[in-house]
């Protein structure tokens, strides 16, 4: 069953398509009869509708393009109908007046196609084999991009440049004077020809950037100068960037020279503020150049179809860090055995890999803790205020159809109903961003839960923070946006962004962290203590919600493991169909949790234990489970993580020494092997295995 937002959107698209067909029909009828008012109105509405759709419904126009009714065909048809209309209007001489108009119109289309050809050439010259960020790439002769309307927006360019033509022709149809049509065509022709000449200046030596060969040589030289030692490799879809972003501060704090290696060009802008150099290398053949760099270790927060390509480099050691730890055995992907080491938080994950029996040897599992959990504040006892803040953060439904994956479908509404019935509860509802992406029932339940919370807020009342709190949040938002939102021109392309995002300002990442902390404090202060909140935006982050909450209700997911670092009370919904004993036995993370049934029984006892710590019988078990899941607190996780990276770097060095010794008696062996690898990589296809992201 389609979601509520899809039906209106489809209705709008169908209405727009119908209106366009009506406009073409009316233009034809008005031209043939002729009915001048109808002809003029239909011509203007037809062009105006296409201009609006270019901005508002590009997806609809893409569909029209697939059936060969693209913008060029539509505009050419409109112009032909205008010429047909002029032929049928008395007072306009076809030979003396319309023939010059037709010839000029053909010249306009000729310059349009020439401009399109020049745009293709310009785009090719401005396509680098890689994209960088936080790196001074001025040696590549980077310059600003040409206006988008000339270089990339073919449809908008044609439609906008056609406006003077249509206006002039309509005046001619009213006055029967071809002069006005000639003026309109002359303006359109001047715009098209002038735009083509201006765009062509980007093909001149002064604006030409480095060639592909020169760019790759520059990359080799930069790698030799920077001498990276440890990096993070990431490939994925637009919504998966959070998996990499959670590791940025950890990567930046490691000993050595860190680097981030990406594969998708769009991902360069998805990575949050960091001082670590970023290099995006889409092609496999170019990626192989890393083999000849000083890079020793790559960390992998997710699996993807393109991961296998970087694993082919034998001189680099690879560690799988994952982007979260869950009790689900599906989190132990068999792909993990392709890495040199699998880094986990604590003993629980080590046991999980052995239980999964997927080929990961115990000697290759390294316990490093979860260094990014440092911002989570520890448990301080019963709620300090009148309200008890409950964070309900269910996970999504997953790909396997297991009813125990998420509580949203079977238990979510019951849990929320029980919480909202307690006048002293303040609910923070933060659903997983992918909720409903596989099972429409989850999306529908999520919508109903949000409606319940909105209704509950309407029935509550009390004092609200003053205007000062709202002003403070606005000020903090402005400060944060100034630090995190790149002020690019609309016409900026990859190369212009590379130039603007060269060497980062010193301490920018620390400034962003401070701004985020200040924004989160202002966010929570801007709402009254009694008001429930639905949080579906990236900010405030989940850790900030942890710190605000007195208790967590969630599912079997990495959220529970992370929350345990605070040692606060928590509950897990059991929608798996197992008995409570079996549920606890199969999922160690719920061992110290209050177990909630699909009917939400247990919520009252949970709240009572939170408000009266003397009734909390699970406190000692939470402390024990925290160490089992996340490892010891001494030495700190950051120290253990850094040491694991250094140890793996040492293993990479030892392997290089062994290989140099082994191959020293075979002249050319290494170079031949490298050439063979590069040649094979150059012939690899870019099929589904390369494009499909299979994040764990």
> 602's torsion region: left (phi>0), alpha (psi -120 to 50) or beta?
left
Residue 404 lies in a domain: yes
- DSSP annotation string for 126-156: T--S-EEESS--GGG---PPPPHHHHT-HHH
Residues in the chain: 696
CATH number of the domain that residue 692 is part of: 3.40.50
- The whole domain housing 349 covers 227-369+637-696
Residues 83 and 110 in one domain: yes
Number of Cβ within a 10 Å radius of residue 328: 22
Residues 433 and 559 in one domain: yes
CATH number of the domain that residue 397 is part of: 3.40.50.2000
Q: What is the pLDDT of residue 674?
A: 45
Nearest to 216 by CA among 137, 326, 300, 122: 137
Which one of 630, 654, 685 terminates a domain?
A: 630
Residues 161 and 299 in one domain: no
Which one of 614, 630, 646 terminates a domain?
A: 630
Distance CA 481, CA 475 (A): 10
Q: Is 152 exposed, middle or buried (0-12, 13-18, 19+ CB in 10 A)?
A: middle
Residues 269 and 335 in one domain: yes
Q: What is the pLDDT of residue 503?
A: 82
Q: What is the pLDDT of residue 330?
A: 58
Residue 147 lies in a domain: no
Which one of 615, 630, 645 terminates a domain?
A: 630
| Residue matched to tokens 């949970």 | 606
Residues 626 and 641 in one domain: no
Stretches in the chain below the pLDDT threshold 70:
1-7, 327-330, 486, 665-696
Residue 466 lies in a domain: no
Residue 139 lies in a domain: no
365-367: strand order across its sheet: 131-133, 278-280, 258-262, 230-234, 297-300, 317-320, 341-344, 365-367
Q: What is the pLDDT of residue 696?
A: 31
Residues 358 and 442 in one domain: no
Q: What is the pLDDT of residue 633?
A: 87
388-393: strand order across its sheet: 533-534, 425-429, 388-393, 551-554, 570-573, 594-596
Alpha helices in 421-507 (DSSP H): 440-458, 467-484, 494-500
Q: Is the dihedral of CA 27, 32, 34, 35 positive or negative?
A: negative
Residue 254 lies in a domain: yes
Q: What is the pLDDT of residue 671?
A: 46
Q: What is the pLDDT of residue 431?
A: 96
Residue 305 lies in a domain: yes
Phi, psi dihedral angles at 421 (to 5 degrees): -75, -20
What the block records as the tokens of 524 is 């929570």
Whether the Cβ atoms of residue 116 and residue 81 lie closer than 8 Å to each other: no
Number of separate domains in the chain: 3
- SS3 helix, strand, coil % of the chain, rounded to 5? 60, 10, 35
Q: What is the pLDDT of residue 328?
A: 63
Residues 264 and 302 in one domain: yes
Residue 502 lies in a domain: no
Residues 553 and 609 in one domain: yes
Residue 30 CA to its chain's centroid (Å)? 48
Residue 506 lies in a domain: no
Residues 558 and 434 in one domain: yes
How distant, in Å, are the alpha carbons of 210, 281, 486 from that of 126? 9, 16, 21
Alpha helices in 201-315 (DSSP H): 212-226, 242-245, 248-252, 267-270, 284-287, 307-310
Residues 327 and 253 in one domain: yes
Whether the Cβ atoms of residue 501 and residue 142 lie closer than 8 Å to each other: no
Residues 337 and 422 in one domain: no
Residues 356 and 336 in one domain: yes
How, if at all, do strands 278-280 and 131-133 pair?
antiparallel
């Amino acid at each position: 069953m389609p979601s509520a937002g899809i039906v209106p959107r489809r209705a709008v698209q169908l209405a727009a398509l119908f209106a366009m067909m009506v406009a073409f029909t009316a233009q034809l009828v008005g031209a043939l009869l002729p009915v001048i008012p109808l002809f003029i109105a239909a011509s203007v509405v037809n062009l105006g509708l296409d201009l609006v759709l270019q901005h508002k419904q590009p997806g609809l126009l893409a569909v029209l393009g697939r059936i060969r009714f693209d913008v060029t065909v539509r505009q050419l048809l409109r112009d032909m109908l205008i010429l047909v209309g002029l032929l049928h209007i008395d007072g306009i001489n076809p030979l003396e007046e319309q023939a010059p108009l037709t010839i000029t119109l053909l010249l306009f289309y000729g310059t349009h196609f020439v401009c399109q050809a020049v745009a293709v050439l310009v785009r090719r010259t401005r396509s680098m084999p890689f994209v960088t960020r936080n790196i001074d790439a001025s040696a590549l002769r980077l310059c600003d991009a040409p206006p988008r309307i000339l270089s990339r927006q073919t449809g908008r360019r044609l439609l906008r440049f056609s406006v003077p033509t249509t206006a002039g022709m309509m005046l001619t149809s009213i006055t029967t004077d071809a002069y006005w049509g000639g003026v309109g065509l002359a303006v359109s022709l001047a715009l098209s020809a002038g735009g083509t000449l201006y765009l062509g200046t980007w093909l001149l030596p002064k604006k030409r950037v480095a060639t592909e060969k020169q760019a790759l040589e520059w990359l080799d030289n930069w790698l030799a100068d920077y001498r990276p030692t440890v990096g993070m490799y990431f490939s994925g879809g637009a919504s998966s960037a959070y998996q990499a972003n959670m590791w940025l501060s950890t990567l930046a704090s490691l000993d050595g020279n860190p680097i981030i290696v990406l594969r998708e060009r769009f991902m360069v802008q998805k990575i949050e503020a960091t001082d670590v150099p970023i290099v995006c290398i889409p092609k496999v053949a170019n990626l192989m150049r890393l083999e000849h760099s000083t890079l020793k270790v790559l960390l992998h927060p997710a699996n993807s179809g393109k991961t296998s390509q970087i694993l082919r480099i034998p001189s680099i050691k690879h560690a799988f860090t994952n982007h979260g730890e869950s009790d689900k055995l599906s989190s132990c992907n068999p792909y993990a055995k392709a890495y040199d080491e699998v880094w986990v938080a604590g003993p629980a994950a080590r046991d999980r890999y052995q239980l999964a029996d997927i080929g990961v040897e115990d000697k290759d599992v390294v316990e490093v803790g979860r260094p990014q959990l440092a911002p989570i504040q520890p448990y301080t006892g019963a709620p300090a205020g009148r309200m008890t803040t409950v964070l309900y953060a269910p996970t999504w439904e997953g790909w396997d159809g297991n009813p125990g994956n998420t509580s949203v479908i079977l238990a979510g509404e019951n849990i929320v109903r029980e919480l909202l019935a307690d006048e002293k509860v303040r609910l923070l509802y933060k659903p997983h961003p992918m909720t409903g992406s596989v099972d429409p029932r989850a999306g529908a339940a999520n919508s109903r839960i949000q409606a319940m919370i909105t209704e509950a807020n309407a029935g509550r009342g009390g004092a609200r923070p003053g205007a000062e709190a709202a002003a403070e949040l606005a000020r903090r938002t402005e400060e944060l946006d100034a630090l995190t939102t790149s002020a690019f021109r609309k016409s900026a392309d990859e190369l212009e962004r590379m130039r603007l995002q060269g060497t980062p300002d010193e301490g920018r990442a620390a400034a962003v962290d401070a701004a985020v902390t200040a924004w989160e404090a202002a966010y929570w202060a801007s709402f009254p203590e009694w008001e429930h909140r639905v949080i579906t935006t990236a900010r405030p982050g989940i850790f900030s919600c942890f710190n605000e909450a007195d208790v967590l209700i969630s599912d079997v997911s990495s959220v529970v493991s992370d929350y345990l670092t605070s040692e606060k009370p928590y509950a897990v919904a059991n929608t798996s169909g197992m008995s409570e004993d079996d549920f606890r036995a199969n999922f160690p993370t719920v061992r110290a949790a209050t177990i909630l049934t699909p009917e939400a029984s247990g919520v009252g006892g949970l709240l009572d234990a939170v408000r009266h710590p003397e009734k909390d019988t699970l406190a000692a078990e939470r402390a024990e489970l925290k160490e089992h899941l996340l490892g010891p607190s001494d030495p700190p996780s950051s120290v253990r993580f850094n040491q694991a990276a250094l140890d793996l770097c040492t293993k990479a060095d030892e392997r290089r020494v062994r290989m140099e010794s082994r191959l020293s008696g075979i002249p050319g062996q290494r170079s031949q092997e490298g050439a063979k690898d590069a040649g094979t990589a150059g012939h690899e296809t870019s099929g589904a295995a390369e494009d499909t992201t299979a994040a764990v």
